[in-house]
Amino acid sequence: MRQNALVRWLVLPLLLVVLGCSLSTAPQQPQEIPAATADATEPASPAQLSAEEIEALVDAAVAEQLAQTERTPVAYAPGPVIATDLEETLTSLYARANPAVVYIIVGTGGISSGSGSGFVYTREGHIVTNNHVVTGGRSYEVVFSNGERMLATLVGADPDSDLAVLKVEGLPEGIEPLAVAQSDALEVGQFVVAIGNPFGEQGSMSLGIISGLGRSLQSQRGTTTGGSTYSLPEVIQTDAPINPGNSGGPLLNLNGEVVGVNAAIASTTGTSSGVGFSIPAAAIRRVVPSLISDGRYTYPYMGVSFDGEITLEEQDIYGLPQIQGAYVVSVTSGGPGALAGLIAADPSTGRGGDLIIALDERPINSFADLNSFLSFQASAGQTIAVKVLRGGETVTLSLTLGERP
Protein backbone atom coordinates (compact mmCIF):
# COMPACT_ATOMS: atom_id res chain seq x y z
CA MET A 1 0.00 0.00 0.00
CA ARG A 2 2.83 2.38 0.82
CA GLN A 3 4.49 1.63 -2.51
CA ASN A 4 1.21 2.17 -4.41
CA ALA A 5 0.74 5.55 -2.77
CA LEU A 6 4.26 6.55 -3.65
CA VAL A 7 3.80 5.62 -7.29
CA ARG A 8 0.45 7.47 -7.38
CA TRP A 9 2.11 10.66 -6.26
CA LEU A 10 4.85 10.20 -8.86
CA VAL A 11 2.46 9.46 -11.74
CA LEU A 12 -0.30 11.94 -10.89
CA PRO A 13 1.69 15.15 -11.61
CA LEU A 14 2.85 13.72 -14.96
CA LEU A 15 -0.71 12.78 -15.93
CA LEU A 16 -2.03 16.19 -14.97
CA VAL A 17 0.61 17.87 -17.12
CA VAL A 18 -0.44 15.73 -20.09
CA LEU A 19 -4.09 16.52 -19.51
CA GLY A 20 -3.30 20.20 -19.18
CA CYS A 21 -1.45 20.22 -22.48
CA SER A 22 -4.38 18.50 -24.15
CA LEU A 23 -6.80 21.10 -22.82
CA SER A 24 -4.70 24.01 -23.99
CA THR A 25 -4.45 22.66 -27.55
CA ALA A 26 -8.11 21.54 -27.93
CA PRO A 27 -10.25 23.44 -30.57
CA GLN A 28 -12.13 26.38 -29.03
CA GLN A 29 -15.02 26.26 -31.53
CA PRO A 30 -17.37 23.36 -32.31
CA GLN A 31 -16.61 21.64 -35.63
CA GLU A 32 -18.96 19.81 -37.97
CA ILE A 33 -18.62 16.12 -37.89
CA PRO A 34 -19.06 14.21 -41.16
CA ALA A 35 -22.20 12.13 -41.26
CA ALA A 36 -20.21 9.04 -41.94
CA THR A 37 -18.54 9.31 -38.53
CA ALA A 38 -21.18 11.09 -36.54
CA ASP A 39 -22.32 7.92 -34.84
CA ALA A 40 -18.77 6.53 -34.32
CA THR A 41 -17.56 6.08 -30.75
CA GLU A 42 -14.49 8.14 -29.85
CA PRO A 43 -12.77 8.76 -26.56
CA ALA A 44 -13.97 11.70 -24.54
CA SER A 45 -11.82 14.79 -24.56
CA PRO A 46 -10.00 15.72 -21.35
CA ALA A 47 -12.47 18.51 -20.76
CA GLN A 48 -15.30 15.99 -20.67
CA LEU A 49 -13.68 13.73 -18.00
CA SER A 50 -15.17 13.68 -14.56
CA ALA A 51 -13.13 13.53 -11.37
CA GLU A 52 -13.99 9.85 -10.97
CA GLU A 53 -12.79 9.11 -14.52
CA ILE A 54 -9.49 10.99 -13.92
CA GLU A 55 -8.91 9.01 -10.73
CA ALA A 56 -9.56 5.78 -12.64
CA LEU A 57 -6.96 6.79 -15.24
CA VAL A 58 -4.45 7.49 -12.46
CA ASP A 59 -5.12 4.11 -10.86
CA ALA A 60 -4.59 2.39 -14.19
CA ALA A 61 -1.32 4.24 -14.75
CA VAL A 62 -0.13 3.30 -11.26
CA ALA A 63 -0.98 -0.35 -11.82
CA GLU A 64 0.92 -0.37 -15.11
CA GLN A 65 3.97 1.25 -13.52
CA LEU A 66 4.01 -1.33 -10.70
CA ALA A 67 3.67 -4.17 -13.17
CA GLN A 68 6.55 -2.77 -15.22
CA THR A 69 8.71 -2.54 -12.09
CA GLU A 70 8.04 -6.18 -11.22
CA ARG A 71 8.90 -7.29 -14.78
CA THR A 72 12.25 -5.48 -14.75
CA PRO A 73 14.98 -7.64 -13.08
CA VAL A 74 17.39 -5.88 -10.74
CA ALA A 75 20.99 -7.16 -10.77
CA TYR A 76 22.87 -6.97 -7.46
CA ALA A 77 26.64 -7.26 -7.82
CA PRO A 78 28.82 -7.93 -4.72
CA GLY A 79 31.10 -5.12 -3.65
CA PRO A 80 34.72 -5.27 -4.75
CA VAL A 81 37.22 -7.12 -2.52
CA ILE A 82 39.60 -4.50 -1.17
CA ALA A 83 43.17 -5.74 -1.35
CA THR A 84 45.94 -3.93 0.45
CA ASP A 85 49.70 -4.06 0.04
CA LEU A 86 50.01 -5.49 3.57
CA GLU A 87 47.49 -8.23 2.84
CA GLU A 88 49.28 -9.22 -0.34
CA THR A 89 52.62 -9.18 1.48
CA LEU A 90 51.32 -11.43 4.24
CA THR A 91 49.68 -13.98 1.98
CA SER A 92 52.79 -14.16 -0.19
CA LEU A 93 55.06 -14.44 2.85
CA TYR A 94 53.01 -17.29 4.28
CA ALA A 95 53.02 -19.17 0.99
CA ARG A 96 56.84 -18.95 0.88
CA ALA A 97 57.67 -19.53 4.54
CA ASN A 98 55.11 -21.99 5.89
CA PRO A 99 56.44 -25.04 3.97
CA ALA A 100 59.75 -24.63 5.85
CA VAL A 101 58.06 -24.47 9.28
CA VAL A 102 57.68 -27.86 10.97
CA TYR A 103 55.75 -29.41 13.82
CA ILE A 104 57.97 -31.33 16.25
CA ILE A 105 56.59 -34.17 18.37
CA VAL A 106 58.89 -35.22 21.21
CA GLY A 107 58.70 -38.79 22.47
CA THR A 108 59.99 -40.49 25.61
CA GLY A 109 59.96 -44.23 25.24
CA GLY A 110 57.06 -44.43 22.81
CA ILE A 111 54.99 -41.82 24.62
CA SER A 112 54.60 -38.27 23.34
CA SER A 113 55.86 -35.93 26.05
CA GLY A 114 55.54 -32.60 24.29
CA SER A 115 55.59 -30.73 21.04
CA GLY A 116 56.80 -27.51 19.51
CA SER A 117 57.82 -25.83 16.31
CA GLY A 118 60.96 -25.44 14.24
CA PHE A 119 62.15 -24.31 10.83
CA VAL A 120 64.38 -25.68 8.10
CA TYR A 121 67.84 -24.13 8.36
CA THR A 122 69.85 -25.97 5.67
CA ARG A 123 69.17 -28.04 2.57
CA GLU A 124 70.94 -30.90 4.34
CA GLY A 125 67.95 -31.20 6.64
CA HIS A 126 69.03 -29.23 9.72
CA ILE A 127 66.10 -27.85 11.69
CA VAL A 128 66.37 -25.09 14.31
CA THR A 129 64.15 -25.19 17.39
CA ASN A 130 64.33 -24.45 21.13
CA ASN A 131 66.45 -26.31 23.63
CA HIS A 132 63.45 -26.56 25.96
CA VAL A 133 61.41 -28.24 23.20
CA VAL A 134 63.86 -31.15 22.83
CA THR A 135 65.01 -31.46 26.46
CA GLY A 136 64.31 -34.91 27.87
CA GLY A 137 63.28 -36.35 24.52
CA ARG A 138 64.33 -39.78 23.27
CA SER A 139 62.76 -39.52 19.84
CA TYR A 140 61.77 -36.64 17.58
CA GLU A 141 59.13 -36.77 14.87
CA VAL A 142 59.03 -33.92 12.37
CA VAL A 143 55.78 -33.15 10.53
CA PHE A 144 55.98 -30.96 7.43
CA SER A 145 53.20 -28.72 6.15
CA ASN A 146 52.30 -31.21 3.40
CA GLY A 147 51.68 -33.89 6.05
CA GLU A 148 54.89 -35.82 5.42
CA ARG A 149 56.51 -37.19 8.58
CA MET A 150 60.16 -37.97 9.29
CA LEU A 151 62.21 -39.07 12.28
CA ALA A 152 64.94 -36.66 13.32
CA THR A 153 68.11 -36.92 15.39
CA LEU A 154 69.36 -34.36 17.90
CA VAL A 155 72.54 -32.71 16.60
CA GLY A 156 73.22 -30.24 19.40
CA ALA A 157 71.61 -28.04 22.04
CA ASP A 158 72.52 -24.97 24.06
CA PRO A 159 70.59 -24.19 27.26
CA ASP A 160 72.05 -20.68 27.59
CA SER A 161 70.57 -19.46 24.29
CA ASP A 162 67.66 -21.95 24.36
CA LEU A 163 68.58 -23.13 20.85
CA ALA A 164 68.79 -26.67 19.49
CA VAL A 165 69.30 -28.33 16.11
CA LEU A 166 67.61 -31.48 14.81
CA LYS A 167 68.36 -33.22 11.52
CA VAL A 168 66.25 -35.25 9.10
CA GLU A 169 67.76 -37.39 6.35
CA GLY A 170 66.13 -35.43 3.55
CA LEU A 171 63.64 -32.69 2.84
CA PRO A 172 60.34 -33.05 0.99
CA GLU A 173 60.49 -31.81 -2.58
CA GLY A 174 60.24 -28.06 -3.04
CA ILE A 175 61.08 -27.01 0.52
CA GLU A 176 63.70 -24.30 0.84
CA PRO A 177 65.44 -23.21 4.09
CA LEU A 178 64.39 -19.93 5.63
CA ALA A 179 66.94 -17.12 5.40
CA VAL A 180 68.24 -15.75 8.71
CA ALA A 181 68.47 -11.95 8.77
CA GLN A 182 72.07 -10.73 8.55
CA SER A 183 71.25 -7.33 10.00
CA ASP A 184 70.24 -6.67 13.59
CA ALA A 185 68.84 -3.21 12.79
CA LEU A 186 65.37 -3.79 14.22
CA GLU A 187 63.01 -1.05 15.33
CA VAL A 188 60.16 -0.95 17.80
CA GLY A 189 56.95 -0.74 15.79
CA GLN A 190 58.25 -2.89 12.95
CA PHE A 191 55.79 -5.52 11.69
CA VAL A 192 56.71 -9.15 12.39
CA VAL A 193 55.00 -12.48 11.79
CA ALA A 194 55.11 -15.64 13.91
CA ILE A 195 54.47 -19.01 12.26
CA GLY A 196 54.19 -22.17 14.31
CA ASN A 197 51.90 -24.75 15.85
CA PRO A 198 50.18 -23.24 18.92
CA PHE A 199 48.23 -25.89 20.83
CA GLY A 200 49.07 -28.29 17.99
CA GLU A 201 47.26 -26.20 15.38
CA GLN A 202 49.76 -26.61 12.56
CA GLY A 203 50.72 -23.80 10.22
CA SER A 204 49.22 -20.97 12.28
CA MET A 205 50.36 -17.44 11.49
CA SER A 206 49.98 -14.39 13.72
CA LEU A 207 50.84 -10.76 13.05
CA GLY A 208 52.21 -8.17 15.43
CA ILE A 209 54.95 -5.64 15.94
CA ILE A 210 58.27 -5.54 17.70
CA SER A 211 57.18 -4.05 21.00
CA GLY A 212 60.54 -3.99 22.75
CA LEU A 213 64.27 -4.60 22.23
CA GLY A 214 67.20 -5.40 24.50
CA ARG A 215 65.28 -7.79 26.76
CA SER A 216 66.95 -10.82 28.36
CA LEU A 217 66.02 -14.45 29.01
CA GLN A 218 67.36 -16.60 31.82
CA SER A 219 69.46 -19.59 30.85
CA GLN A 220 67.61 -22.90 30.74
CA ARG A 221 70.19 -24.40 33.09
CA GLY A 222 69.45 -21.86 35.80
CA THR A 223 71.90 -21.16 38.60
CA THR A 224 75.52 -22.00 37.87
CA THR A 225 78.65 -22.46 39.95
CA GLY A 226 79.40 -19.42 42.08
CA GLY A 227 75.78 -18.36 42.41
CA SER A 228 75.65 -16.32 39.18
CA THR A 229 72.83 -16.79 36.70
CA TYR A 230 73.51 -16.60 32.98
CA SER A 231 71.09 -14.82 30.67
CA LEU A 232 70.79 -14.21 26.95
CA PRO A 233 70.84 -10.52 25.95
CA GLU A 234 69.30 -8.62 23.02
CA VAL A 235 66.08 -10.66 23.17
CA ILE A 236 63.17 -9.37 21.07
CA GLN A 237 59.80 -8.61 22.64
CA THR A 238 56.75 -8.87 20.38
CA ASP A 239 52.99 -8.63 20.70
CA ALA A 240 52.48 -11.15 17.88
CA PRO A 241 50.42 -13.82 19.68
CA ILE A 242 52.72 -16.63 20.87
CA ASN A 243 51.25 -19.61 22.71
CA PRO A 244 52.42 -23.07 23.88
CA GLY A 245 53.45 -24.92 20.71
CA ASN A 246 54.87 -21.78 19.06
CA SER A 247 58.21 -22.43 20.79
CA GLY A 248 61.00 -22.96 18.27
CA GLY A 249 59.10 -21.40 15.37
CA PRO A 250 60.41 -18.42 13.42
CA LEU A 251 59.68 -14.75 13.94
CA LEU A 252 59.87 -13.19 10.48
CA ASN A 253 60.11 -9.69 9.08
CA LEU A 254 57.94 -8.81 6.09
CA ASN A 255 60.78 -9.81 3.74
CA GLY A 256 60.41 -13.37 5.03
CA GLU A 257 63.74 -13.31 6.92
CA VAL A 258 64.06 -14.95 10.33
CA VAL A 259 64.74 -12.20 12.88
CA GLY A 260 64.14 -14.43 15.90
CA VAL A 261 63.16 -17.82 17.28
CA ASN A 262 60.02 -17.69 19.41
CA ALA A 263 60.90 -18.95 22.86
CA ALA A 264 58.66 -17.74 25.67
CA ILE A 265 55.70 -15.70 26.81
CA ALA A 266 55.15 -13.64 29.94
CA SER A 267 51.80 -14.84 31.22
CA THR A 268 49.99 -15.76 34.40
CA THR A 269 47.57 -18.03 32.51
CA GLY A 270 49.92 -19.89 30.17
CA THR A 271 48.43 -18.26 27.09
CA SER A 272 49.38 -15.18 25.10
CA SER A 273 49.13 -11.90 26.97
CA GLY A 274 50.70 -9.75 24.27
CA VAL A 275 54.24 -10.14 25.66
CA GLY A 276 56.24 -12.73 23.77
CA PHE A 277 59.99 -13.17 23.52
CA SER A 278 62.16 -14.30 20.61
CA ILE A 279 65.84 -15.26 20.53
CA PRO A 280 67.56 -12.74 18.24
CA ALA A 281 69.05 -13.57 14.85
CA ALA A 282 72.48 -12.65 16.23
CA ALA A 283 72.31 -15.68 18.52
CA ILE A 284 71.16 -17.93 15.67
CA ARG A 285 74.06 -16.84 13.46
CA ARG A 286 76.58 -17.34 16.25
CA VAL A 287 75.35 -20.46 18.08
CA VAL A 288 73.69 -22.67 15.46
CA PRO A 289 76.75 -23.26 13.22
CA SER A 290 78.68 -24.50 16.29
CA LEU A 291 75.80 -26.77 17.28
CA ILE A 292 75.90 -28.29 13.79
CA SER A 293 79.68 -28.72 13.70
CA ASP A 294 80.47 -29.49 17.37
CA GLY A 295 77.16 -30.27 19.05
CA ARG A 296 77.74 -27.44 21.53
CA TYR A 297 78.60 -23.78 21.80
CA THR A 298 81.34 -22.34 24.04
CA TYR A 299 80.73 -18.91 25.56
CA PRO A 300 83.54 -16.62 26.73
CA TYR A 301 83.87 -16.30 30.49
CA MET A 302 85.17 -13.56 32.80
CA GLY A 303 84.61 -15.22 36.16
CA VAL A 304 82.96 -12.09 37.53
CA SER A 305 79.54 -11.30 39.01
CA PHE A 306 77.92 -7.92 38.42
CA ASP A 307 75.07 -5.78 39.67
CA GLY A 308 72.49 -6.18 36.93
CA GLU A 309 71.24 -2.59 37.11
CA ILE A 310 72.63 0.23 39.24
CA THR A 311 69.90 2.36 40.78
CA LEU A 312 70.43 5.82 42.23
CA GLU A 313 70.11 4.35 45.72
CA GLU A 314 72.75 1.73 44.94
CA GLN A 315 75.03 4.39 43.50
CA ASP A 316 74.98 6.02 46.91
CA ILE A 317 75.54 2.71 48.71
CA TYR A 318 78.43 1.75 46.44
CA GLY A 319 79.92 5.24 46.56
CA LEU A 320 80.14 5.46 42.76
CA PRO A 321 80.61 8.68 40.78
CA GLN A 322 78.11 7.50 38.08
CA ILE A 323 75.58 4.80 37.35
CA GLN A 324 76.86 4.12 33.82
CA GLY A 325 78.90 0.92 33.80
CA ALA A 326 78.95 -2.67 35.10
CA TYR A 327 79.77 -2.86 38.82
CA VAL A 328 81.91 -5.80 39.97
CA VAL A 329 80.20 -7.48 42.94
CA SER A 330 82.37 -10.61 43.19
CA VAL A 331 85.31 -12.25 41.43
CA THR A 332 85.81 -16.02 41.12
CA SER A 333 89.11 -17.07 42.63
CA GLY A 334 91.52 -18.21 39.93
CA GLY A 335 89.21 -17.07 37.11
CA PRO A 336 90.06 -14.76 34.20
CA GLY A 337 88.86 -11.67 36.08
CA ALA A 338 90.95 -12.47 39.15
CA LEU A 339 94.04 -13.15 37.02
CA ALA A 340 93.53 -9.79 35.27
CA GLY A 341 93.38 -7.97 38.60
CA LEU A 342 89.71 -6.98 38.81
CA ILE A 343 88.63 -5.93 42.29
CA ALA A 344 85.29 -6.93 43.78
CA ALA A 345 83.12 -4.88 46.15
CA ASP A 346 83.54 -5.37 49.88
CA PRO A 347 80.78 -7.88 50.79
CA SER A 348 80.05 -6.07 54.06
CA THR A 349 79.79 -2.51 52.74
CA GLY A 350 79.23 -2.96 49.00
CA ARG A 351 81.95 -0.41 48.30
CA GLY A 352 85.33 -0.54 46.64
CA GLY A 353 84.50 -2.61 43.56
CA ASP A 354 85.66 -1.81 40.01
CA LEU A 355 83.16 -0.16 37.67
CA ILE A 356 83.76 -1.42 34.12
CA ILE A 357 83.11 1.38 31.63
CA ALA A 358 84.61 -0.03 28.40
CA LEU A 359 85.65 -3.32 26.77
CA ASP A 360 88.04 -3.02 23.83
CA GLU A 361 87.12 0.68 23.61
CA ARG A 362 83.40 -0.13 23.35
CA PRO A 363 81.46 1.90 25.94
CA ILE A 364 79.75 -0.18 28.64
CA ASN A 365 76.82 1.70 30.15
CA SER A 366 75.25 -1.27 31.92
CA PHE A 367 75.63 -4.97 32.57
CA ALA A 368 73.38 -5.54 29.52
CA ASP A 369 76.03 -3.92 27.32
CA LEU A 370 78.76 -6.10 28.82
CA ASN A 371 76.67 -9.25 28.44
CA SER A 372 75.87 -8.39 24.81
CA PHE A 373 79.58 -7.87 24.05
CA LEU A 374 80.55 -11.21 25.57
CA SER A 375 77.67 -13.10 23.93
CA PHE A 376 77.92 -11.77 20.39
CA GLN A 377 81.33 -10.14 19.87
CA ALA A 378 83.90 -11.96 22.00
CA SER A 379 85.27 -15.51 22.01
CA ALA A 380 86.90 -17.80 24.54
CA GLY A 381 90.69 -17.35 24.48
CA GLN A 382 90.44 -13.77 23.25
CA THR A 383 92.36 -11.09 25.16
CA ILE A 384 90.44 -7.87 25.70
CA ALA A 385 91.18 -4.45 27.24
CA VAL A 386 89.02 -3.75 30.28
CA LYS A 387 88.71 -0.10 31.33
CA VAL A 388 87.50 0.48 34.89
CA LEU A 389 86.85 3.34 37.29
CA ARG A 390 88.70 2.60 40.52
CA GLY A 391 88.97 5.06 43.42
CA GLY A 392 88.47 8.08 41.21
CA GLU A 393 90.98 6.91 38.61
CA THR A 394 90.67 5.19 35.23
CA VAL A 395 92.60 1.92 34.97
CA THR A 396 92.92 -0.38 31.93
CA LEU A 397 93.49 -4.10 32.51
CA SER A 398 94.30 -6.92 30.06
CA LEU A 399 91.98 -9.92 30.45
CA THR A 400 92.08 -13.22 28.57
CA LEU A 401 88.60 -14.73 28.40
CA GLY A 402 88.11 -18.31 29.49
CA GLU A 403 85.37 -20.84 28.66
CA ARG A 404 82.05 -20.61 30.46
CA PRO A 405 81.82 -23.62 32.77
The active-site residue, picked from 158, 162, 239, 307, is 162
Q: Is the pLDDT of residue 283 over 90?
A: yes
The residue-averaged pLDDT of 305-333 equals 96
Q: Average per-residue pLDDT in the chain?
A: 85
pLDDT at 369: 96
pLDDT at 386: 98
pLDDT at 229: 75
Residue extent(s) of CATH 2.30.42.10 domains in the chain: 300-403
Look at the domain 191-294 and name its fold.
Answer: Thrombin, subunit H (2.40.10)
The active-site residue, picked from 117, 204, 247, 278, is 247
Q: Is the pLDDT of residue 267 over 70?
A: no
Q: Is the pLDDT of residue 83 over 80?
A: no
- High-pLDDT (> 90) share of the chain, %: 67
Q: Is the pLDDT of residue 100 over 90?
A: yes
pLDDT at 242: 87
Q: Is the pLDDT of residue 202 over 50?
A: yes
- High-pLDDT (> 70) share of the chain, %: 78
Residue 178's pLDDT band, with cuts at 50, 70 and 90, is: very high
pLDDT at 79: 55
Three-state SS letters, the chain:
CHHHHHHHHHHHHHHHHHHHHHHHHCCCCCCCCCHHHHCCCCCCCHHHCCHHHHHHHHHHHHHHHHHHHHHCCCCCCCCCCCCCHHHHHHHHHHHHHHHHEEEEEEECCCCEEEEEEEEECCCCCEEEECHHHHCCCCEEEEECCCCCEEEEEEEEEECCCCEEEEECCCCCCCCCCCCECCCCCCCCCCEEEEEECHHHCCCEEEEEEEEEEEEEEEEEEEECCCCCEEEEEEEEEECCCCCCCCCCCEEECCCCCEEEEEEEECCCCCCCCCCEEEEEHHHHHHHHHHHHHHCCCCCEECCEEECCCCCHHHHHHHCCCCCCCEEEEEECCCCHHHHHCCCCCCCCCCCCCCEEEEECCEECCCHHHHHHHHHHCCCCCCEEEEEEEECCEEEEEEEECEECC
Q: Is the pLDDT of residue 322 over 80?
A: yes
Q: Is the pLDDT of residue 274 over 90?
A: no
pLDDT at 68: 67
pLDDT at 66: 63
The residue-averaged pLDDT of 251-279 equals 83
Residue 24's pLDDT band, with cuts at 50, 70 and 90, is: very low
Q: Is the pLDDT of residue 238 over 70?
A: yes
Taking only the tens place, the pLDDT of each residue in 369-394 is: 999 999 999 999 999 999 999 988 99
Q: Is 162 a catalytic residue?
A: yes
Look at the domain 100-167 and name its fold.
Answer: Thrombin, subunit H (2.40.10)
pTM of this prediction exceeds 0.85: no
Which segment of 10-14, 129-133, 285-289 scores lowest on mean pLDDT?
A: 10-14
The active-site residue, picked from 132, 278, 307, 369, is 132
pLDDT at 357: 98
Q: Is the pLDDT of residue 20 over 50?
A: no
Residue 80's pLDDT band, with cuts at 50, 70 and 90, is: low
pLDDT at 73: 56
Q: Is 132 a catalytic residue?
A: yes
pLDDT at 77: 57
pLDDT at 273: 65
Residue extent(s) of CATH 2.40.10.10 domains in the chain: 100-167, 191-294
Which segment of 57-61, 87-91, 363-367, 398-402 scores lowest on mean pLDDT?
A: 57-61
More confident residue, 154 or 71: 154
Which segment of 34-38, 49-53, 301-305, 323-327 scores lowest on mean pLDDT?
A: 34-38
pLDDT at 31: 44
> Which one is the CATH code of 300-403: 2.30.42.10, 2.40.50.1020, 3.40.50.2000, 3.40.50.150?
2.30.42.10
Q: Is the pLDDT of residue 110 over 80?
A: no
